[in-house]
Amino acid sequence: MNSVNFGTDADMALCRRLPTLLDSIRPLLGAHDPVSSVVPDVLPDRIVELTNMIMPLHNQAWARGDAIDIWDVAGLKSNEGRNSAVLGWLLDPKGTHGWGARLLRDVLRLAGDRYPHWPRLDKDLDHVSVVTECWPAGSTTERVDIAIDGDDFVLFIEIKIQAREGEQQLARYVKVAEAKRQITGKQYGLVLYLSAIAPVDPPEEVALMTWRDVADILARFPKSGFNGVITQQFAQHIQKFY
Which of 13-22, 36-45, 133-142, 209-218 has maximum average pLDDT?
Answer: 209-218
pTM for this entry: 0.76
Sequence spans of domains, the chain: 8-64, 72-238
pLDDT at 65 over 60: yes
pLDDT grade, residue 3 (50/70/90)?
very low
pLDDT in tens, 142-159: 889 999 999 999 999 999
pLDDT at 19 over 80: no
pLDDT in tens, 168-206: 899 999 999 999 999 999 999 999 999 999 998 888 889
Which class is 72-238 in CATH?
alpha beta
Q: Residue by residue, what is the 3-state secondary structure of the chain?
A: CCCCCCCHHHHHHHHHHHHHHHHHHHHHHCCCCCCCCCCCCCCHHHHHHHHHHHHHHHHHHHHHCCCCCHHHHCCCCCCHHHHHHHHHHHHCCCCCCCCCCHHHHHHHHHHHHHCCCCCCCCCCCCCCEEEEEECHHHCCCCCEEEEEECCCEEEEEEECCCCCCCCCHHHHHHHHHHHHHHHHCCCEEEEEEECCCCCCCCCCCEEEECHHHHHHHHHCCCCCHHHHHHHHHHHHHHCCCC
pLDDT in tens, 72-85: 999 999 999 999 99
| Residue 30 or residue 57, greater confidence | 57
